[in-house]
Structure 1
């Protein structure tokens, strides 16, 4: 079995560029450091570095080994320093799963302020419209829109559900006319999330607590509401979108309401994380950042998805 202390010494020597500099930084005699690296090479059965009095050069095996180990060693060092100091100051890596277009509506300036306020925190974003497996992908927190599954995960609401409304561009309505009833939607190009059948079902609430269910189809579909919004703006059809997303376009006249008396209950945006117990300070601070910034947003200039 490898001695993890030898691995840590190797990573630190590589980082500092020489045994002499590593000795000065770590307060350990250079001969001791050299001996620990030699022990590691013996255990691995390969040379990791070429030595000289002033500098060292990694072999190809040494470079590959360093690339695999450096992040893990840094994590162990950070964890040990936090425990030994008893500090609750946020520090370490926060791994975040978010929709592919997350930074279309979450300002990078907000993240810059956060990192400036917490200099020991690092963030790694996994941007994808696929729903992340938090445990398997070692994700600390995910930003999710849509209904929450009963998965045993913990969630904190960022944006209330609100209502989803039907919208289209003025050009589309001028060319195709406006539907008079929900059933008329079946004769229109409707923009929805892709389905193998090419059709999706919209369930709408109407005046007087009436309910309507209609199957719709169109020539364009997508897997994010941002894509559907852009398709609606381009005149490709009627879309059922969150009011927080379309409010600005409606005010500007870029979109017009369709069947304004009918809507669908929205799902809002939530932060999802594996456990609320022993939540690392860095993760807790990041959650507070997102709740603070997005919680004050009344209009999303872009979409959120199923991260």
Structure 2
């Protein structure tokens, strides 16, 4: 029979990213903690962690085992803490991974209200357009755009896919002219996400329902949708952006739609977390906040 204490120790090591940090928090020698995890691996008959001087990496078996047991362990610890304190209030730290320009669309006032309502909760945001490794970076909740991969985690859709359209500033169009056909983009500067090859091709759906490829010249590249939006507002070229990024600018006349019958299907937005069961109250509370606030809101796709 597995020693559930060893399972809990394994989860704690993964949670902290190293034996040394986990041992420090637990108040036990690092070599003792390592030995207990080795005993667990021996019982399971498989290696769970690849050890190196720089970092720990979960093996495939380790990932599967962690996904199955981490929620239960965290839930038990959370339940025990609640019983000891006599409180049913959410508490502890929630680490959230999101795109770099997250707070351009998720008002900080929502965060302030949440923290005021739950004084024992701390929020730790990891903002990057790179996909976070939920295990290695100890992430509780991740916002993720695009097609959701089958990772063993729980995914909840926040927004469905929207159609991205071509936009430019009036100043740019006054100087360079308005393209009448897709091929006219050959004579225009564009604003785009950088491609490793140095060449960027937009695949757009046309008015006849047929997709067309157009290779564009981009004099400004960026790695966030907000950077591209600001470059487009500054008149640096034509951009292909989701409506949730450009709607307000279009309504205010700061941007103008270009070739409106051409579009690219965008990506939905999902909320990703380890398990439906045994979620810490603080994590559940934040998920509830997100679902409530974004139910009738718009949000940018993560391209």
| Structure 1 residue 277, shift from structure 2 partner | 2.6
Structure 1 residues 187, 83: CA separation in 2 closer, same or farther (over 3 Å shift)? farther
Distance 1:78 1:155 in 2: 22
Q: Secondary structure at the match of 1:207?
A: coil
Instruction: Please give the per-residue CA displacement for 1:80-103, whole angstroms capped at 9, x wherever unaligned.
Output: 422546865322211111122222
Query: Which residue of structure 1 aligns with residue 52 of structure 2?
Result: none
Supply the distance in 2 between the matched residues of 1:263 and 1:153 (Cα, whole angstroms).
32
User: Using the alignment, how far apart are the partners of 2:150 and 2:173 within structure 1?
Assistant: 40
Q: How many residues align?
A: 233
Matched with 1:265 is 265
Query: Runs ≥4 in structure 1, deviation > 6 angstroms?
Result: 76-79
Query: What is the TM-score normalised by the length of structure 1?
Result: 0.69
Q: Does 1:288 align with 2:271?
A: no
| Deviation sequence 1:82-129 (CA, Å, 0-9, x none) | 254686532221111112222222112111111222222221111222
- In structure 2, do the counterparts of structure 1 residues 79 and 272 end up closer, same or farther at CA, with 3 Å as the change threshold? same
Which residue of the partner structure matches residue 133 of structure 1?
133
CA distances 1:146-166 after superposition (whole Å, capped 9, x unpaired): 343333332112222221110
- Aligned Cα RMSD in Å? 2.7
Q: Tell me, yes or no, if structure 1 residue 249 matches structure 2 residue 227.
A: no
Give the distance between the partners of 1:196 and 1:278, measured in 2 at CA: 42
Verify the 8 A CA contact 1:206 1:262 in the aligned structure 2.
yes
Q: Equivalences for 1:216-255 in 2 at 5 Å? A: 216-255=216-255
Q: How does 1:11-160 map to 2 (within 5 A)?
A: 80-84=80-84, 88-160=88-160
- Residues 99 and 127 in structure 1, CA contact (< 8 A), matched pair in contact too: yes
| Cα offset, 1:236, TM superposition | 0.5
2:201 corresponds in structure 1 to: 201
Unaligned runs of 5+ in 1: 1-39, 45-75
DSSP-derived class of the 1:209 partner: coil
Give the secondary structure class of the aligned counterpart of 2:192: strand
* Cα distance between partner residues in 2 of 1:246 and 1:151: 32
| Bigger Cα Rg | 1
Q: Is the 2:100–2:224 Cα contact (8 Å) retained in structure 1?
A: no
Maintained 8 Å contact 2:78/2:281 = no
